[in-house]
Amino acid sequence: MTEQVFTNARIVTATEVVFGTVQIKDGQIADVSSGRCNLPRAQDFNGDYLLPGLVELHTDNLEKYMNPRPGVDWPSESAVLAHDAQVIAAGITTVFDALSIGDVSPRGNRLRQLPVMLQAISHAHRDGHMRADHRLHLRCELSHEKTLDLFHELVEAPLVQLVSVMDHSPGQRQFVKIEKYREYYQGKYNLSDQEMDDFIDQHQQNSQRYSDSYRRSIVQHCRERTLSVASHDDATVEHARESADYGMSIAEFPTTVEAAGASHQYGLKVLMGAPNIVRGGSHSGNVAASKLAEQGVLDILSSDYYPSSLLQAAGILAATVPGYDMPKAVASVSLAPARAAGLLDRGEIRVGLRADLVRVTARTKHLAVGQVWRGGERVF
């Protein structure tokens, strides 16, 4: 691989913004220096930002390509490549595709699609068709009777590196407000009032029957395999303490200030949705991510269902939240998620790390992705 030099760039490191030059050799960052390089082969960035490649830990974006319309199953490998193209265009060079084990939908096809999605991602990865580096994140819905068996079937897949445990049953965690649960699922699945009442009753019973024992079994297996584990929708200090006692490393989408603060205190990295930052609040009526940022208990952002929100949210944090600058905001979408997932070779612009890089223009208030490199290779 030939040597590359990027100069006249605003380089966002883990601690500062440097006007300078980055040299890439053999897919790694070979040098970072201040000042402009006059070598003829150097690429002039004209003052644009140079960021580390973004790292996404939790996205179900692929599902939109698998089912672009109700009742439409798109060819799986084509769907994976379309998803990959959107992800890389958002500046995301490492993505953990979330596969949902367990389905809360009465008419859903997540379980049927699960092996199809896994196979399509694995084949595209094997054949070198991916532009981003794809890993797998198993989202375990604890209130589904088949979850534990499916988890044991899938967890040995080579690309699996992150597991989260969640319970979306009504009356607790994300949906402590039953009316919000009813509004979300009745609208999403077009259920009658009686169907919705039955839906609520079924999932409350399933939660009581399965959630606690499934959580213990799954977390224990992950600890034996040294897989990173995330809690999901912790709502109370007790939830956060339980997650910490289980040895989890990430607290995904805590729903209250108290749960987020306790998670942070117990050493879990608090992850919130970038769409929450962009939209100015939670669609479920839970705590705003910006409030957690203001209180110093937000560590990681995830694009969740909208890939381009990751960079946009980092820009909003840097511009509007006291205590944030570009390095700190960018770390929440690069360095912090990489470390939380156990990836030590990426996430910041530093000599010796992978040359996963993003050129970003900021000619308006909106940050825009211009070019992307993964391992020193131009992929966008």
Which CATH number is 18's domain given?
Answer: 2.30.40.10
Question: Which of the residue ranges 20-29, 69-78, 131-140, 222-231 would you say has the lowest mean pLDDT?
Answer: 69-78
Shared-domain flag, residues 5 and 134: no
Q: Per-residue b/e over 121-138, b at no fewer than 16 CB within 10 Å?
A: bbebbeeeebbbbbbbbb
What type of residue sits at position 193? D
Averaged over 286-294, what is the pLDDT?
91
Instruction: For residue 350, give its domain range.
Output: 1-52+346-380
Q: Are residues 360 and 287 in the same domain?
A: no
> pLDDT tens digits for 97-131?
999 887 666 555 666 778 888 889 999 999 999 99
Shared-domain flag, residues 96 and 236: yes
- Neighbouring residues of 198: CB distance < 8 A, sequence distance ≥ 6: none
| Whether residue 148 sits in one domain with residue 136 | yes
Note whether 101 and 154 are within 8 A (CB).
yes
Name the domain count of the chain: 2
Q: How far apart are CA 105 and CA 11, in angstroms?
A: 45
- Kindly report the number of other CB atoms within 10 A of residue 183's CB atom: 14
Is 236 in the same domain as 90? yes
**Burial degree of 253 (CB within 10 A; 0-12, 13-18, 19+):** buried
Instruction: Give the span between the Cα atoms of 94 and 82, in whole angstroms.
Output: 16
Compute the average pLDDT of residues 368-378. 97
Q: Are residues 302 and 198 in the same domain?
A: yes
CA proximity to 339, closest of 55, 30, 92: 55
Distance CA 238, CA 246 (A): 12
Query: Could you tell me if 180 and 264 lie in one domain?
Result: yes
For residue 86, give the CATH number of its domain. Answer: 3.20.20.140
Q: What is the pLDDT of residues 26-40, one digit of tens each?
A: 999 999 999 999 898
| Cα-based distances in Å from 61 to 184, 211, 291, 294, 304 | 19, 26, 26, 28, 7
pLDDT beyond 90 at 191: no
Q: Do residues 325 and 369 both lie within one domain?
A: no
The answer to whether residues 259 and 377 belong to one domain is no
Quote the DSSP letter at residue 53: P
Q: Average pLDDT of the chain? A: 91
Confidence (pLDDT) at 214: 92
Q: Are residues 308 and 377 in the same domain?
A: no
- 253 with 371, same domain: the answer is no
Q: Are residues 42 and 146 in the same domain?
A: no
Supply the pTM of this predicted model: 0.90
Closest CA to 328 of 298, 356, 306: 298
